Each structure stands twice: as structure tokens, then as C-alpha cells.
Amino acid sequence: METLEKIQVIKELVTKYFEENAGTTIGWLILERLSEDEKNHIINIGTSILCTKWDIGYPGGGFVQAFVDNDLIRAIGSADGTSYKGFKFFAQLMYNVGIPSFL
């Protein structure tokens, strides 16, 4: 499987996890106020986090690398406003979603 196909599979996993869990991990009131761009940003960052964690494609940027490295201080310092809203989502995503066996 090509790298771009693997990334697409991971993005689909993250999107599904977001649809099923964002209300409880981000909070229903915050989720209702997120724009589509913010939701897509959270999904893209979540995808980058899992790709970085599993060494698929290129490593993520400063926030993603700090998050994967479990460096809370650097992750908070590197987070933009939308990523900050997704902190709990990202943590639960990393903990609860395993790499598919076919990747």
C-alpha cells in the first residue's frame, strides 16, 4: 500500500473516531460552536498525530511532535486555538485507536 493510501486510511479512522466521540471528548457545547474548518483542522491534526506516532509519511510539525512525544509544556506552547480545543480528543485518539493490521 502506498504512503498516500495509508494516510487516507488513517484519516478515515480519525474522521470516524471524531464523528463518534468528539461530543464527549471536546464537549457538546464547544463542538456545536466549531466551524467546519475547525472540525477539519482537528481531523487533520489527529491524522498527523497518528501518522507521526506510527511513522507513516512525514513527521508532523511542532505541536504534533510535542504531542506524540508526550511533552505537554511544548504541546501547549505550540498549539493554535483550534488544536487547544482538541487536546482531550487527541489524547483519547492516541490511546484508543490502534494501527490497522493491513498498514
**Residue 97, pLDDT score:** 94
Joined together, the cell numbers standing for residue 47 give 491524522
**Residue 101, pLDDT score:** 85
Joined together, the cell numbers standing for residue 71 give 511533552
Ramachandran assignment for 56, one of left (phi > 0), alpha (psi -120 to 50 degrees), beta (any other): beta
Q: 102: pLDDT confidence band, cut at 50, 70 and 90?
A: confident
| Angle (nearest 5°) at CA 49 between 45 and 52 | 130
The pLDDT of 81-102, averaged and rounded, is: 92
25-84 confidence digits (pLDDT tens): 888 888 889 999 999 999 999 999 999 999 999 889 999 999 999 999 999 999 999 999
**Residue 8, pLDDT score:** 95
